[in-house]
Structure 1
Amino acid sequence: MKKILNIKYVLIGLGLSCFTVISCVDLEEEVFSQVTADNFFQTDEEFISALGAAYSSLGGLGNHSGLWSINELASDEIVISTKGGDWFDGGVLLQLHQHEFLPDNPFFQNSWNFLFGGINTCNRLIFSFEQLDNPNSAAFIGELRALRALFYYWALDAFGNVPLVTDFTSTESPGTTPRQEVYNFVLSELNEVIPLLPTAKDGTTYGRMTRWAALTIRMKLYLNAEVYVGTPQWALAAADAEEIINSGPYSLMPSYRDNFVINNAGSTENIFVYPYDKVFAGGFNWVMMTLHIASQSTFNLTQQPWNGYQTVEEFYNSYVDPEINPGVQGPVWKGLALEQSEGTIDGRLSNFLVGPQFRADGTRLEDPGVEPFDATGRNGDPDGPPITFMPYLNEIWPQGLRQAGARIAKYEFEMGGTNNMSNDFVIFRLSDVILSLAEARFRLGNTAEALALVNQIRDRAGNLDPFTTLTEENLLAERGREMYVEMTRRQDLIRFKKYGDAWWPFQGMNRPKRVHQPGSHLELFPIPEPQLLANPRLTQNPGYN
């Protein structure tokens, strides 16, 4: 029987290996064997073990200050308010939410390093495998090319004009490649490797690049083609989405929430994930990033959370405001008061942690450091010291309330958990593909099919009243509700030409709202300043000079 080797166990093995190396103190150990290309890359298991280094590059997705953070904080989903002396951080967080991007913001450098670290690792392994006279190597090279295409897809989406490097042996500093050429490269790579990739959904392919994951990347390239290269490709996006839906081994989970539980490896919906593990594959830190310091007692956590990431109030209300979401009613926050009305409830409210908070023993959780309340409501928390997470945000600077903002609860928090979560991080999911097909059909004028697809997602969300008509507004809103914090919102807002609309409270209550037009240079992030200083062949994106 062929041994099944799951990429999660490869990542765990890498973690154990690192631990073993760190634990060694005898630097003069006798070497009994030496791993070389000639004697190691002989079996599938040995190739997969080497692949683990490339997949482990994805481990930076679930933590603070990287690619996920810049996408979410620059959208209308997430904000980190300055809470007195906490979370100002030199203003870099406010820059992201206010769309005042500066090239020296360290979040851009972190994101760049994440992307090109992954690309470099893929290039190194592709080079190593190409030196082998082994028939097994071709399939694994195809897998690495697909993973490299994912990193480049993210790079062209975030930074647009980036270096295009595929030769691991090159010693010359790369120049900037136009976004059109990077797009063409990613598309060409995917076209070549998709026929070579596995189609199975089982333990051998979990957390690895399959035909379906690569098709999803290509679908997203086509979906955003008008933004990336100026030419819409709705029909091609629809074709890829249909293949995934009709031929792929995926189906919607009966419960939206089950895609994000601690043990979510059994999801029938998740197409591509990064398998985190709190001991051996750490880095998924959302429990720390969003929960209140005192929430440690709610979940008996081993460490204190940081009380950082919050949901923008208007975005939270998009789930429950009948004017935005017809037929859905539930808890609607008006200022500091919670109003409860009857009606169907969107099950995706599980994305948020709101309301009174309690210790694990059932007693009320309190914040002894709560801000003193004054009559203006600007400097104080009328619901403290007993902690109540309010979707209401009084301001994002300088005195954001410590209890303000619905907290990110999309992934299940573990009782007795650590600063690292073990939920597998969802990168691609079937419901995104269904909504992408709906959008492509809508753009092509087939509104009846598009409406049926969107209502399929709404029905799974909790028997919500179906839409009777489909508009750009409610299609974008439905994508937002379904795909909350899955690193799609900034991209969606740009594609729908809503990125930077006047209704978006960039500045909270402190300053006039910032508005920029579709096609603004702010739709791309700046090339990080440290990269420009290190490599004079790079060219800064327009508008940042």
Structure 2
Amino acid sequence: MKKIKYNIMLIAGVFALVMSSCTDDLDVKSDDPLVFLSDEFFEQPDAYRQGLAGVYGNLSLTGTTGAGSSNIQGIDAGTSQYGRCLWYLENLSTDEVIWSYENDPGTREIQRNIWTASNPIFRGMFGRGMFQVALVNEYLRQTTADKLASRGVTDQAQISEINDFRNEVRVLRALAYYHLMDLFGKAAYNDENSALGVAGPEYNRQQLFDYIESELNEVIPSLKAPRTNEYGRVDQAVARMILAKMYLNAQVYIGQDRYADCVTQCNQIIAGGYTLNPTYLNNFKADNHTSSEMIFTLQSDGIATQNYGPTTVMVNGQVGSIEQNGVSLGVGSGGWGGALRLRKQFVQKFDGSDFDNDTRKTIISGVRDIEISDIANRDQGYILAKFSNRTSAGIAGPNSTFVDTDFPLFRLADVYLMYAECAARGAAGATMSQAVTYVNSLRERANSGSTAANISANELTLDFILDERSRELHWEGHRRQDLIRFGKYTGGSYNWAWKGNGSNGIAISANLALYPIPTASLAANPNLTQNPGY
């Protein structure tokens, strides 16, 4: 099979030990008699690999009985899906996209920047992230040398493989804490050595940053080299990508300039053998698992791992209410009836002759008005055609709703742009000539090899980089973080349609650069405190 196999039952049952150890803020239901990661579970053949798949599966799956089920109670499946929540919080709150159906719980407040701590999408993201921590911690408890010996696991090859699994899940735990640190600025800290049944202490951004950095640096030498692991699994480049992202945003997170460290990680990743896919849009099709550009993805499979995750949402949501263009994208002709549209300010980033032949410009205007004066009017605003449930050969995925397209959490193009940004910021170890080379490689790829849209060193400014990141990486879960890093998210120096609940955009307060800790999480763990301004 093309991807690591996720058994939907594996992420269903998290028994009392897991529930009491780390989740803090959740009611997690278990309806599987053979609960995941119990002693009984590890009596099964191949249990250690199945358990690993279950930990990975939490990034895609939500429950026991298909895409409509969730093992986090109190919210629906889509609202608790890891990648979808991440996409809502990183993209829907910005200038790139708007969601038509504002009766869907939580969406109206996020895209108008008027949220409160009771928003269910915050609970879904915070809860799913802490759930991931819980799964990793229990997997590590159940795979110690003593546990293996007590079960008669003595084969050295098997023990070595299990140790590889342990190293991988530690990176997955660091990834969850990285997202919690970025979005919420704090989280409850637990690891495999934490006391069971005790609410974890609150870690602030500095503490989380230090923990993640230390954990990844410790585990990187023991991870598989880039591009040598099974597709969809962690390797050294994934861990370095998390570090690079942290160092790029360190000024926001901990008030320190770590751009030189970001450059170091970028160089290591680039040396790992990744290459740009010659065709930009092949990174967003149903066979994007074959792209040489992918560093780490959140997996989607229209048959085996059906979920209402980000790519299913984006492909179906792209289908225009007027155009009915779903068949061309590999889903039903009407898709989700114009659920997603583009805010004007994003569209305008492709204005000018430089972008006449840019393959990244998949914007469909037709008879539409660029302005969205009424969010409920699905005929207003341009639409996008970036993501597709068709393969690079044009073959539609086997399901017309649930897509085969993986969500590209980390890819090489982002590394090139991170390096370029560090160079523009004067980071040690980065040169402007190399930065221009990296940016122009993306522009040449976008222009079918033509150098007509290439830039010079003088044009490589920070304002250019912020816009170029949106042109290259739109809808890939980066935009909020980028706007905050460039000082364009809060305040009024840059406004976009419906920012702050104004049709033309208004300034928003500085506290909105962090999301609030969900009300349910505060109630469940008395060690957690609310972020300022909420």
What is the TM-score when the length of structure 1 is the normalising length?
0.77
After superposition, the C-alpha distances for 1:447-472 in whole angstroms (9 at most, x for unaligned) are 33322222221111113411222111
1:535 deviation in Å? 2.3
**Mapped partners of 2:43, 2:118: distance in 1:** 46
Tell me what 2:318 maps to: 290
Aligned length: 458
**Mapped partners of 1:111, 1:318: distance in 2:** 30
Matching of residue 307 in structure 1 with residue 295 in structure 2? no
In structure 2, what residue type is equivalent to 1:249?
Answer: G
**Mapped partners of 1:38, 1:278: distance in 2:** 29
Distance verdict in 2 for CA 1:439–1:304, change over 3 Å: closer
> Among 86, 95, 107, which residue is 1:93 paired with?
107
After superposition, the C-alpha distances for 1:12-42 in whole angstroms (9 at most, x for unaligned) are xx148899xxxxxxxxx9xxxx98577557x
1:89 deviation in Å? 4.0
CA contact (8 A) 2:370 2:380 kept: yes
**Mapped partners of 2:369, 2:401: distance in 1:** 24
Matching of residue 348 in structure 1 with residue 360 in structure 2? yes
Matching of residue 176 in structure 1 with residue 202 in structure 2? yes
**Mapped partners of 1:494, 1:60: distance in 2:** 30
CA contact (8 A) 2:480 2:489 kept: yes
CA contact (8 A) 2:186 2:203 kept: yes
1:511 deviation in Å? 5.1
After superposition, the C-alpha distances for 1:146-205 in whole angstroms (9 at most, x for unaligned) are 111011111100001111111365211223211100111110110011111111525x42
> Among 484, 496, 504, which residue is 1:505 paired with?
496
Distance verdict in 2 for CA 1:297–1:117, change over 3 Å: same
After superposition, the C-alpha distances for 1:485-513 in whole angstroms (9 at most, x for unaligned) are 11011111111111134442242795573
Q: Unaligned 5+ residue runs, structure 1?
A: 1-5, 20-28, 331-344, 357-382, 384-389
Tell me what 2:512 maps to: 522
**Mapped partners of 1:151, 1:158: distance in 2:** 11
SS at match of 2:124: helix
SS at match of 1:59: coil
In structure 1, what residue type is equivalent to 2:317?
Answer: M
**Mapped partners of 1:205, 1:249: distance in 2:** 15
Tell me what 2:292 maps to: 268
CA contact (8 A) 1:426 1:486 kept: yes
Q: After alignment, is 150-159 or 258-267 more displaced? A: 258-267
After superposition, the C-alpha distances for 1:397-433 in whole angstroms (9 at most, x for unaligned) are 4xx4322233343221344742210112211101111
**Mapped partners of 1:511, 1:313: distance in 2:** 11
In structure 2, what residue type is equivalent to 1:438?
Answer: A
Tell me what 2:95 maps to: 76
Tell me what 2:410 maps to: 428
SS at match of 1:482: helix
Tell me what 1:67 maps to: 86
CA contact (8 A) 1:67 1:114 kept: no
Matching of residue 404 in structure 1 with residue 376 in structure 2? no
Distance verdict in 2 for CA 1:165–1:303, change over 3 Å: farther
Tell me what 1:476 maps to: 466
Tell me what 1:205 maps to: 230
**Mapped partners of 1:71, 1:309: distance in 2:** 15
**Mapped partners of 1:318, 1:63: distance in 2:** 30
Larger Rg: 1
CA contact (8 A) 1:258 1:267 kept: yes
Matching of residue 228 in structure 1 with residue 253 in structure 2? yes
In structure 2, what residue type is equivalent to 1:347?
Answer: T
CA contact (8 A) 1:272 1:427 kept: yes
Distance verdict in 2 for CA 1:110–1:391, change over 3 Å: farther
**Mapped partners of 1:128, 1:458: distance in 2:** 48
In structure 2, what residue type is equivalent to 1:251?
Answer: T
CA contact (8 A) 1:76 1:312 kept: yes
In structure 1, what residue type is equivalent to 2:319?
Answer: L
SS at match of 1:347: coil
Distance verdict in 2 for CA 1:465–1:528, change over 3 Å: same
Distance verdict in 2 for CA 1:8–1:175, change over 3 Å: same
CA contact (8 A) 1:80 1:309 kept: yes
Matching of residue 55 in structure 1 with residue 45 in structure 2? no
Distance verdict in 2 for CA 1:95–1:281, change over 3 Å: same
CA contact (8 A) 1:7 1:52 kept: no
Tell me what 1:466 maps to: 454
Tell me what 1:376 maps to: none
Distance verdict in 2 for CA 1:430–1:329, change over 3 Å: closer
Identity of aligned residues (%): 28
**Mapped partners of 1:300, 1:428: distance in 2:** 25
What is the TM-score when the length of structure 2 is the normalising length?
0.79
Distance verdict in 2 for CA 1:171–1:511, change over 3 Å: same
1:94 deviation in Å? 3.1
Tell me what 1:281 maps to: 305
**Mapped partners of 1:9, 1:516: distance in 2:** 42
CA contact (8 A) 1:311 1:406 kept: yes
What is the 5 A alignment of 1:483-494?
A: 483-494=473-484
Tell me what 2:141 maps to: 127
Tell me what 2:183 maps to: 158
SS at match of 1:289: helix
**Mapped partners of 1:249, 1:47: distance in 2:** 29
Q: After alignment, is 484-493 or 71-80 more displaced? A: 71-80
**Mapped partners of 2:41, 2:400: distance in 1:** 39
CA contact (8 A) 2:294 2:410 kept: yes
SS at match of 1:75: coil
In structure 2, what residue type is equivalent to 1:423?
Answer: T
> Among 422, 427, 432, which residue is 1:440 paired with?
422
What is the 5 A alignment of 1:320-469?
A: 321-322=351-352, 327-330=353-356, 345-350=357-362, 352=363, 354-356=364-366, 383=367, 390=368, 392-397=370-375, 400-414=376-390, 415=396, 417-444=399-426, 446-462=431-447, 463=450, 464-468=452-456, 469=459
CA contact (8 A) 2:317 2:335 kept: no
Backbone CA RMSD of aligned residues: 3.0
CA contact (8 A) 1:54 1:121 kept: yes
Matching of residue 10 in structure 1 with residue 38 in structure 2? no
Distance verdict in 2 for CA 1:8–1:309, change over 3 Å: same
Matching of residue 540 in structure 1 with residue 525 in structure 2? no
After superposition, the C-alpha distances for 1:299-340 in whole angstroms (9 at most, x for unaligned) are 562985243222212102202x12xxxx5143xxxxxxxxxx
Matching of residue 251 in structure 1 with residue 227 in structure 2? no
Q: Unaligned 5+ residue runs, structure 2?
A: 13-32, 63-76, 154-158, 391-395
